[in-house]
Amino acid sequence: MTRLFFDCDTGIDDSLALLYLLARPDVDVIGIASTAGNVPVDTVTANNLAWLELCGRTDIPVHTGSPVPLVAELMTTEDTHGPAGVGYAELPPATTSESQVDAADAWIDASLAHPGELIGLVTGPLTSLATAIRRDSALPGRLARLVIMGGAFHVHGNTTPVAEWNVAVDPEAAAEVFAAFGAEDATPPIVCPLDLTESVALTPDHLVRLAAAAGSSPVECPDPGDEPGLRSVAANPLIRHVVDAVRFYLEFHHAHDEGYIAHLHDPFAAMVALSPGIVTTIAARVDVEVTGRLTRGMTVADERSMTGAPNARITTSTDVDAVFDELLDRIATLARTLASSDNSDSGLLASGDRVGETVRRSPAAQARRA
């Protein structure tokens, strides 16, 4: 079993990363740290608990981090991820509660329980991990691997012209984490920056493939001409919630002239955490600007060792089609399995029923295609 600790600011793409991890039977998710970012930390925790209960995984503890970054005031982005951080999805509220161990102590405990074999994955701001390292400076040396979704090196930022969201929310935390992983006994983190993650762009056709592979019906194809917020009627509960969540993200990117697509930053980072061989990387020394009036939150990569030895490996390329094949196949299998186990008592549509039904499009979409 691969043991992994997941630190996130659940969010729409964090949700897909979590579903991907849960869809991997060879992965033991030791715990989940909720970090404030896309939405406030208590909402992150509520989302993590809700997805876990929906997937029958209330055995996985959820640990809540600080409500605020190390220094900065909290910045959230409900316009990107929705008022509750999961787009239009209306997840059944969890009936379970978070752990009494906070996120930073959970990081420390997990690394002590599995020294030298634990994989860390961060898809949100680095506040919780930085706090853990402040409490226990030996933590980096105990991790087998750390993967961070964050930063922008040779592309425009998505939060400021030079800053990526996870780093922009808590630049001090990011700077402290990269500095800590410059220590000799630490394995440099693998960094998944916007430079590469923005190439993992989900389209409505990917949702069609996902629903069909899950045996869900009707198979729906969101369209930019749809009424905003059109809700899914997919029979498979997980597919229904995923389509509702992702539709919000498609509308957000479309409204910002990026196309009717959704950048899947976090599930890509999750896949890298489990299979680092799917990316090429370059070694670099990464540091974070924390004082610049225009450049605060900027990640700077020294690729020529001018400022010291490398403390990171920056991902530079991947096979995007293979990424989607793996992601869609895994989540479809999870959705199908959950539906078939639910069918035993709820009479939900059996997996595979009415598969092959034509793709369902809204009247507006049909008119556009006529």
In the complex, the residues that contact ligand RIB under the rule CB under 6 A are 9, 11, 13-14, 37-38, 123-124, 149, 158, 164-166, 265-266
- The structure tokens listed for 43 are 């909402």
How near is the Cβ of 72 to Ca ion at its closest, in Å?
A: 17
Q: Which does 164 bind (CB under 5 to 8 A by kind): ligand RIB, Ca ion, none?
A: ligand RIB
> In the set 40, 65, 69, 124, which binds Ca ion (CB under 5 A)?
124
Residue 299 tokens, joined? 């990640």
SS3 assignment, position 310: coil
DSSP 267: H
Q: Choosing among Ca ion, ligand RIB, none, which partner's interface includes residue 40 (Cβ < 5 to 8 Å by kind)?
A: none
Where is 237: in which H helix or E strand? helix 237-255
* 123, 128, 281, 299: residue in contact with Ca ion (rule CB under 5 A): 123
Whether omega before 92 lies within 30 degrees of 0, making that bond cis, reads no
Q: Which does 165 bind (CB under 5 to 8 A by kind): ligand RIB, Ca ion, none?
A: ligand RIB
| 120 part of the interface to Ca ion, by CB under 5 A | no
For ligand RIB, the closer CB: 20 or 165: 165
Cβ-based neighbours of 19, under 8 Å, separated by 6 or more? 51, 55, 238, 242, 267, 331, 334
For ligand RIB, the closer of residues 223 and 266 by Cβ is 266
Q: How far is the CB of 336 from ligand RIB (least distance, A)?
A: 26
Binding of residue 267 to Ca ion (CB under 5 A)? no
Q: Which of 80, 41, 10, 27 is nearest to 266 (CA)?
A: 10
How many other CB atoms are there within 10 angstroms of residue 193's CB atom? 26
Using DSSP's 3-state secondary structure scheme, residue 62 falls into: strand
Collapse the DSSP code of 324 into the 3-class scheme (helix H, G, I; strand E, B; otherwise coil) and give the result.
Answer: helix
> From the centroid of its chain, how far is CA 119?
15
Structure tokens at 228: 């905003």
Site string for Ca ion, 7-36 (x = CB under 5 A): --x-x--x----------------------
Closest CB to ligand RIB among residues 142, 263: 263
Count of residues engaged in binding Ca ion, rule: CB under 5 A: 6
Query: Could you identify the residue written with the tokens 């691997």?
Result: 145
For ligand RIB, which is the closer residue by CB, 68 or 138?
A: 68
Residue nearest to ligand RIB (CB): 165
Residues that bind Ca ion (CB under 5 A): 9, 11, 14, 123-124, 266
